[in-house]
Amino acid sequence: MMNGPLNINEHVEHEKKQIDLILETVHQLSGFDFNNYNRNHIKRRLHLRMSQEGSSDLTSLLNEINCNPQLLDKILNDFSIQVTTMFRDPLFFLKFRRNVIPLLKNFPEIYVWHAGCSTGEEAYSLAILLKEEGLLERARIYATDISEEAINKARIGKFPLHRMNNYRKNYYAAGGELEFSEYYNADDTYAYFDPSITNSIYFHQHNLVVDGSINEFHIILCRNVCIYFNADLQNHVHQLLHASLHNEGFLCLGDQESLISLDSKKYFQEFDAKCKIYKKNDYFRSGS
C-alpha cells in the first residue's frame, strides 16, 4: 500500500506525537518536565529551534537532541525564555512604591521572593527601591529560577552597559529620583552593580513545577513566568505561592498575567488590578 501525503488532521496529530516524544526525551535527559507548559509556546520554540539548527523536521530534531547535549541545553533555554529588564513595566514599580511600601513599614522584617527571577534584573530593581525607602536592611530577598545558568549570571550582578540607558529611563518612570549610575561601576562594556545591592539577595535554583515552598513571604513576585504554563500548572503554581505568603502578603504577577482559575481567585483579592498586585485572602485560613 502506498503512503500518500498526510491530510491536515493527520499532520496535526503527527506533530502532536512528535512534540510529546521530544518533551518525554527532554524530561528523561534533563529531569525537567515541560509537559504542562503552554503547547503553543512549546511548538513555536521548537519550530524556531528547528530553523536555527537547519533541521528538516521535528523527527530529526528529536534524533539530534538524543546525541547532542549542547542542543539539549539550547532547548531548555528556549522553553524557559529569560527575557527581562530592570524596572520592567515601570508603572508596576511606581504603584508598588506608592501603595505597597507604606504597608510594609510596620513589619520588623520583610521577606521577599522573586519566583522566576531570570538573570536578576527584577530582584536588583526591587532591592534599589527598598534601599531608597529605607527598608533594604530589614529585607530578606530570595530570588529563584529553574535555570542554573540564569541564577549564576544573576549572582554576579554584571549587565551589558548599553542596556543602562533604557534601565535608567525605567528607573525614573518607576519613581526613582537619584542618579541611577550611583548604583553601579562601569567599564567599557559592563555595569557592575554595587555590593550593597548584590549582597542583599540570595539566589538559588528552584523549579516551581516540582519544588515546594521555601519560606513564608510578605511579598512574592512571579512576573512573566506562568504565562508559559497551561491552566492546570498556573493553578498549581498560584496555590504554591498562596501557601508561601504571609497572611497580609502580596502577590505580584506580570502585565499579561492574571489569576485565571476560580480556585486561585478565591485565594486572593485584587489590590491593584491594572498592575496585577493581589493581596492574600485570609478567609480560608480563618474559616470565617
Ligand X SMILES: C[S@@+](CC[C@H](N)C(=O)[O-])C[C@H]1O[C@@H](n2cnc3c(N)ncnc32)[C@H](O)[C@@H]1O
Q: How many CB atoms lie within 10 A of CB 128?
A: 26
Candidates 57-65, 185-193, 202-210, 259-267; binding stretch for ligand X (CB under 6 A): 202-210
Each residue 102-141 as x (binds ligand X by CB under 6 A) or -, in order, gives --------------xxx---x-------------------
Each residue 213-252 as x (binds ligand X by CB under 6 A) or -, in order, gives ----------xxx---------------------------
Q: How many CB atoms lie within 10 A of CB 285?
A: 9
Number of residues that bind ligand X (CB under 6 A): 21
Which residue, 32 or 55, has its beta carbon nearer to ligand X?
Answer: 32
Out of 143, 146, 164, 245, point to the residue binding ligand X (CB under 6 A). Answer: 146
* 8 Å CB contact between 79 and 37: yes
Q: Min. distance of Cβ 279 from ligand X in angstroms?
A: 20
Candidates 134-142, 163-171, 172-180, 201-209; binding stretch for ligand X (CB under 6 A): 201-209
Alpha helix segments (H runs only) across 54-144: 58-67, 69-79, 90-95, 101-104, 121-132
Tell me if 212 contacts ligand X by CB under 6 A: no
Tell me if 147 contacts ligand X by CB under 6 A: yes
Q: Min. distance of Cβ 9 from ligand X in angstroms?
A: 31
Cell numbers representing residue 180 in the block: 541611577
Query: Which of 17, 73, 75 lies closest to 47 in space, CA to CA?
Result: 75
Cα separation, 78 vs 67, in Å, equals 18
Q: Min. distance of Cβ 41 from ligand X in angstroms?
A: 11
Pairing label, strands 245-253, 277-280: antiparallel
Could you give the C-alpha distances from 110 to 36, 101, 150, 154, 243, in angstroms and in order? 33, 11, 25, 21, 17
Out of 45, 88, 236, 238, point to the residue binding ligand X (CB under 6 A). Answer: 88
Which residue, 150 or 201, has its beta carbon nearer to ligand X?
Answer: 150
Query: Which of 200, 129, 125 lies closest to 167 in space, CA to CA?
Result: 125
Binding residues (CB under 6 A) for ligand X: these are: 80-84, 88, 116-118, 122, 145-147, 150, 207-209, 223-225, 254
